Structure 1
Amino acid sequence: MIKAILVFNNHGKARLCKFYQHYTEEQQQHIVRETFHLVSRRDDDVCSFLEGGTLIGGSDYKLIYRHYATLYFVFCVDSSESELGILDLIQVFVETLDRSFENVCELDLIFHVDKVHNILSEIVMGGMVLETNMNEIVTRFMEQDKLEKSESSVIVQEVEKVISAVLSRT
C-alpha cells in the first residue's frame, strides 16, 4: 500500500504532499524533511530504493523515488508494493503531468496544485492504485477541467446578471 506521495524541489521545499494515513502537521513536516535528507544525499548512480527506516511504518517501509530536473518524486510504500511497479507509476504520474501542462515544471505544481491533486486522485486513491493508463487519466483530467471552466462561466454570467439588476434599481 502507498503510505504517502511527496514531491519536493532540490532545496527541500514541498510542492506536493499526499498522505494516505493520518499524521499531525508536525509529523508530516518531519517526514518531508527526513525524506528529503535521505533522498537528496544519494548519488545519481545508485538505485532509487531505500528500505527500512522509522519515518512511516518502521522496517516494513520503503522509499521509492525518481529525480527529474529540479523535482524529486517520492512514493513511501510498504513491503507489499513492487519497487519496479512503483517506479513505473512515478513515470506515469510525471508523463501525465507533462501531457496535462505541456512540459510540466515546478511552477505548474505551485500554481495549479488543485489540478495536480485531481490528476493524482485519478491515479491513486486511499493508497491504492486506480489507473495506470495515461490516455485514460488525461481524458478524465481534461473532462474535469472542461467542466470546471463551464461552471465558472455560468457563475460569471449569474454574477453579471445580479450586478446589472442592482445597478438598474439605483
Structure 2
Amino acid sequence: MMRFMLLFSRQGKLRLQKWYLAMSDKERKKMVRELMQVVLARKPKMCSFLEWRDLKVVYKRYASLYFCCAIEGQDNELITLELIHRYVELLDKYFGSVCELDIIFNFEKAYFILDEFLMGGDVQDTSKKSVLKAIEQADLLQEEDESPESAVMSKAHWEGGDWGGGGGRGRCLSSLVGGKARTKLPHTVSVQLLYSFVLYPVLLHSHLPIIPLKGSGSLACNTMNTLLVFNHLI
C-alpha cells in the first residue's frame, strides 16, 4: 500500500502531496522536508529506490519535477515505478505535453486525476481510457454548473424619447453616454452589454438605478463594472 505521494521541483518547491495515512501536519511537514533533501541530494545515475525510515521510497524525475512515492516494505518497487509513469501519462493526455506550470495553475485537476487513478493508496483503475473518460464527464458537469456564472452577452434596444424626465432611467443613461446629461435620444440606440453574473449580485446591491432590459432581466447600471459597446448610434 502506498503511504503518500509527493510532487516537488528541483528547487525544493512542493507542487502536490497526497497522503494515505493519518498524520499530524507538523509530522507531515517534517517528513516532506527530510525526504526532499534526501532525494534532491542524490545523483542522476543513482538508483530510484531507497530505504528511508521504515518505508521504501520510489521516485522518478520528469523534466523539472520529481514524482516520489513512499510504500510499505512488502510492496513492489517496480510496480510503484510503473504507477508513477502511468500517472504522468494521464497528466500528459489530459493537459497535452504537461509541464510544471500546468500542475501549478490546475492543481485541482491533477488531484482529481490522481483520485480517479488511486484510492486509499491502491490502484482502482489501470485503464487510461476509463480514467480519462471519467475526468471528461466531470468536466462536462462542471461546465454545466458554471454556465450561469459565465460571461453573457445581451443586446438591448432603447427607443428614443424623453429620458430626462425625472426617472431613474434618464440619470442612468446620462452616465453611460460620456457622463453628460442628455434629455432626448431621437433615434434608436443599439447597445450591447457584456456582463458577468459573478458581478451581478454586487451591482444589484449597490443601490444604483436599474435598467429594464428587454428579454434579459435587469442589470444595475455601473460604468465602472459594466462594459458597454455601442454598435450603432444614429
Shorter chain as denominator, the TM-score bin is 0.7 to 0.9
1:120 aligns with 2:114: yes
CA RMSD of aligned residues (A): 2.1
Q: What is the CA–CA distance in structure 2 between the aligned matches of 1:101 and 1:68, rounded to whole Å?
A: 15
Equivalent residue of 1:64, what SS?
strand
Residue 108 of structure 1: CA displacement?
A: 1.0
1:144 aligns with 2:138: yes
Q: What is the CA–CA distance in structure 1 between the aligned matches of 2:11 and 2:108, rounded to whole Å?
A: 23
Q: What is the CA–CA distance in structure 1 between the aligned matches of 2:105 and 2:97, rounded to whole Å?
A: 14
1:105 aligns with 2:105: no
Equivalent residue of 2:137, what SS?
helix
Q: Which amino acid aligns with 1:8?
A: F
The 5 A counterparts of 1:1-170 are 1-53=1-53, 58=54, 61-156=55-150, 159=197, 165=217, 167=219
Q: What is the CA–CA distance in structure 1 between the aligned matches of 2:141 and 2:219, rounded to whole Å?
A: 30
Q: What is the CA–CA distance in structure 1 between the aligned matches of 2:48 and 2:130, rounded to whole Å?
A: 27
Q: What is the CA–CA distance in structure 2 between the aligned matches of 1:133 and 1:80, rounded to whole Å?
A: 25
Q: Deviations over 1:93-118 (max 9, x none)?
A: 00110110111111111111111110
Task: Give the number of equivalent residue pairs.
Answer: 162
Equivalent residue of 1:44, what SS?
coil
Q: What TM-score, normalized by structure 1, do the two folds share?
A: 0.86
Q: What TM-score, normalized by structure 2, do the two folds share?
A: 0.64
Q: Indicate the structure with greater helix content.
A: 1
Q: Which amino acid aligns with 1:139?
A: K
Q: What is the CA–CA distance in structure 2 between the aligned matches of 1:112 and 1:9, rounded to whole Å?
A: 16
Q: What is the CA–CA distance in structure 2 between the aligned matches of 1:81 and 1:154, rounded to whole Å?
A: 48
| Structure with greater Cα Rg | 2
Q: What is the CA–CA distance in structure 1 between the aligned matches of 2:148 and 2:90, rounded to whole Å?
A: 29
Q: What is the CA–CA distance in structure 1 between the aligned matches of 2:51 and 2:125, rounded to whole Å?
A: 26
| Structure 1 residue ranges (4+ consecutive) displaced by more than 2 angstroms after TM superposition | 154-157, 159-168
Residue 26 of structure 1: CA displacement?
A: 1.8
Identity in percent:
35
Q: Deviations over 1:111-170 (max 9, x none)?
A: 11111110000111111211122222111111111211121114548x4898665548xx
Equivalent residue of 2:74, what SS?
coil
Residue 52 of structure 1: CA displacement?
A: 3.6
Q: Which has the higher contact order (CA 8 A, sep 6+)?
A: 1
Equivalent residue of 2:69, what SS?
strand
Q: What is the CA–CA distance in structure 2 between the aligned matches of 1:124 and 1:29, rounded to whole Å?
A: 22
Unpaired runs of at least 5, structure 2: 153-196, 205-215, 221-234
Q: Which amino acid aligns with 2:3?
A: K
Equivalent residue of 1:96, what SS?
helix
Q: Which amino acid aligns with 2:111?
A: H
